[in-house]
């Protein structure tokens, strides 16, 4: 079956004209898709022959709300979406002062196996299509009757392990034929798949890039993030510098502060040396405790001290405000609890 929602206008036009339909039908179909219809039957201006053709040959990807948790603290909504094949993914909807942001998933599970991550612990099933990434945004918009202005690819999965579909998603979602969310309002987060960082830099998109770093030392980083054995820190930073050269866009580094693991003054000093002179921002995130991982977040005092060392060396660093702390709003946690029967 053809995944109609992953197609752009010219692909859809080719698809329909190749099957003997008029060119202008593609725009009509796209307009319906843009309006969020979930079946071909609802596309009432299409001739019967085309509706039947589409029903027989294509499908409209969707994400249906299976579970939803709303934070009593800040209104953050965490969704567990069910996909057409019964797989589940999570998204988190946040309301900042400047509008709604959504954190979406790019894969069902993840192959990367980071030890602090709930998704990493739950294994890997499959990658998402571009249409399934769009469907998460649409479903959250519909459920709340809102328009989402910012998207981060920081939910379940490693975006650069699903590179083609993610790039397709970026191009689609930012086009007028789809949700029209500008690339500047989208951020991709990667654990550091170096060759894809080069590919991404060469595309020179306006989209933001965030790198999950979590330690300035190879030995320690390899312990928590197995990908580091394949692409060690020096290679990663080299790729980041290439990205900066190509795009002139500031990079974000994510750094989860784990008590006694990566939060010492020495870690902060080594991190400062590593990123010295780089156009970047460091997001310090007190680690979310994932059941079974045995990690606890750094004390408030440690967080501040770590941040102060970075700032005093000229680096731009902030401790990220935790949203949805009462609803496990960190990727992979809801699905994990749901499958254990806890929620």
Q: Which residues bind ligand SF4 (CB under 6 A)?
A: 110, 112-114, 117, 119-120, 157-158, 191, 212
Q: Which is nearer to ligand SAH, 40 or 132 (CB)?
A: 132
Options 42, 90, 110, 191, the catalytic residue: 90
Q: Indicate if 132 belongs to the active site.
A: no
Options 191, 207, 240, 331, the catalytic residue: 331
Residue 330, contacted partner among ligand SAH, ligand SF4, none, CB below 5-8 A by kind: ligand SAH
Residue 226, contacted partner among ligand SF4, ligand SAH, none, CB below 5-8 A by kind: none
Query: In the chain, what is the straight-line distance between the N-terminal and C-terminal CA atoms, in Å?
Result: 34
**30, 177 Cβ separation under 8 angstroms:** yes
Task: Render the burial of 300-337: b for 16+ CB within 10 Å, e for the rest.
Answer: eebbeebbebbeeeebebebeebbbeebbbbbbbbbbb
Q: What are phi and psi of 331, to 5 degrees?
A: -55, 140
Query: CB of 255: closest distance to ligand SF4 in angstroms?
Result: 12
- Binding range to ligand SAH, per CB under 6 A, among 174-182, 187-195, 244-252, 302-310: 187-195
* Closest to 75 in 3D by CA, of 320, 322, 324: 324
Q: Indicate if 331 belongs to the active site.
A: yes
Query: CB of 4: closest distance to ligand SF4 in angstroms?
Result: 28
Residue 272, contacted partner among ligand SAH, ligand SF4, none, CB below 5-8 A by kind: none
Q: How many helices (H) and strands (E) does the chain have?
A: 13, 14
Looking at residues 294 to 333 of the shown chain, list those that interact with ligand SAH (rule: CB under 6 A). Answer: 330-331
State yes or no: residue 90 binds ligand SAH (CB under 6 A). no
* Closest to 298 in 3D by CA, of 338, 263, 251: 263
Q: Which is nearer to ligand SAH, 33 or 209 (CB)?
A: 209
Alpha-carbon distances of 154 from 117, 189, 333, 335, rounded to whole Å: 12, 6, 13, 15
State yes or no: residue 190 binds ligand SAH (CB under 6 A). yes
Residue 193, contacted partner among ligand SAH, ligand SF4, none, CB below 5-8 A by kind: none
Which long-range CB contacts under 8 A does 235-239 form with residues at least 24 apart?
235/194, 236/192, 236/194, 236/197, 236/211, 237/274, 237/275, 237/278, 239/192, 239/194, 239/197, 239/198, 239/201
Chain-centroid distance of CA 224 in Å reads: 20
State yes or no: residue 186 binds ligand SAH (CB under 6 A). no
Return d(Cα 194, Cα 103) in angstroms, integer.
Answer: 23
Query: CB of 189: closest distance to ligand SF4 in angstroms?
Result: 7
State yes or no: residue 154 binds ligand SAH (CB under 6 A). yes
Query: CB of 51: closest distance to ligand SAH in angstroms?
Result: 39
Q: Find the binder of ligand SAH among 13, 71, 189, 252 (CB under 6 A).
A: 189
Give start and end residues of each alpha helix (H) in 145-264. 163-173, 194-203, 218-224, 227-230, 233-247
Q: Which is nearer to ligand SAH, 140 or 191 (CB)?
A: 191
User: How many amino acids of this chain bind ligand SAH (CB under 6 A)?
Assistant: 16
Return d(Cα 175, Cα 196) in angstroms, integer.
Answer: 23
DSSP assignment string, 105-119: -SEEE-SS--TT-HH
Residue 89, contacted partner among ligand SAH, ligand SF4, none, CB below 5-8 A by kind: none
Q: Write the interaction track for ligand SAH spanning residues 233-262; mark x where CB under 6 A is met and - where it is not.
A: ---------------------x-x------
Q: Just list the catalytic residues.
A: 90, 331
Q: By CB under 6 A, name the binding residues for ligand SAH.
A: 116-117, 154, 158, 189-191, 212, 254, 256, 285, 287-288, 290, 330-331
């Amino acid at each position: 079956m053809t995944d109609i929602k992953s197609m752009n206008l010219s692909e859809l036009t080719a698809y329909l004209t190749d099957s003997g339909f008029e060119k202008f039908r593609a725009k009509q179909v796209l307009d319906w898709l843009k309006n969020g219809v979930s079946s071909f039957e609802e596309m009432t201006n299409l001739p019967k022959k085309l509706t039947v053709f589409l029903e027989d040959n294509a499908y409209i990807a969707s994400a249906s709300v299976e579970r939803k948790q709303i934070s009593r603290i800040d209104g953050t909504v965490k969704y567990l979406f069910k996909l057409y094949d019964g797989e589940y993914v999570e998204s988190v909807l946040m309301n900042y002062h400047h509008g709604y942001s959504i954190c979406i998933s790019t894969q069902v599970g993840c192959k990367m196996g980071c030890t602090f991550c709930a998704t990493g612990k739950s294994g890997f099933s499959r990658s998402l299509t571009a249409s399934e990434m769009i469907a998460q945004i649409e479903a959250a918009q519909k459920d709340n009757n809102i328009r989402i202005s910012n998207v981060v690819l920081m939910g379940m999965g490693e975006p650069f392990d699903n590179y083609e579909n993610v790039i397709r998603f970026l191009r689609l979602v930012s086009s007028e034929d789809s949700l029209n969310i500008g690339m500047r309002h989208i951020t991709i987060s990667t654990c550091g798949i170096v060759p894809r960082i080069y590919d991404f830099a060469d595309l020179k998109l306006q989209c933001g890039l965030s790198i999950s770093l979590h330690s300035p030392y190879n030995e320690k980083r390899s312990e928590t993030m197995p990908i580091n054995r394949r692409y060690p820190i020096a290679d990663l930073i080299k790729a980041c510098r290439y990205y900066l050269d190509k795009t002139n866009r500031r990079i974000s580094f994510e750094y989860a502060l784990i008590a006694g693991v990566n939060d010492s003054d020495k870690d902060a000093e080594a991190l400062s040396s590593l990123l010295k002179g780089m156009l970047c921002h460091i997001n310090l995130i007190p680690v979310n405790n994932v059941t079974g991982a045995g990690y606890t977040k750094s004390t408030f005092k440690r967080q501040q001290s770590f941040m102060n060392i970075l700032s005093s060396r000229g680096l731009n660093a902030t401790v990220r405000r935790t949203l949805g702390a009462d609803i496990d709003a960190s990727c992979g946690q809801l699905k994990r609890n749901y499958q254990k029967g806890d929620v």
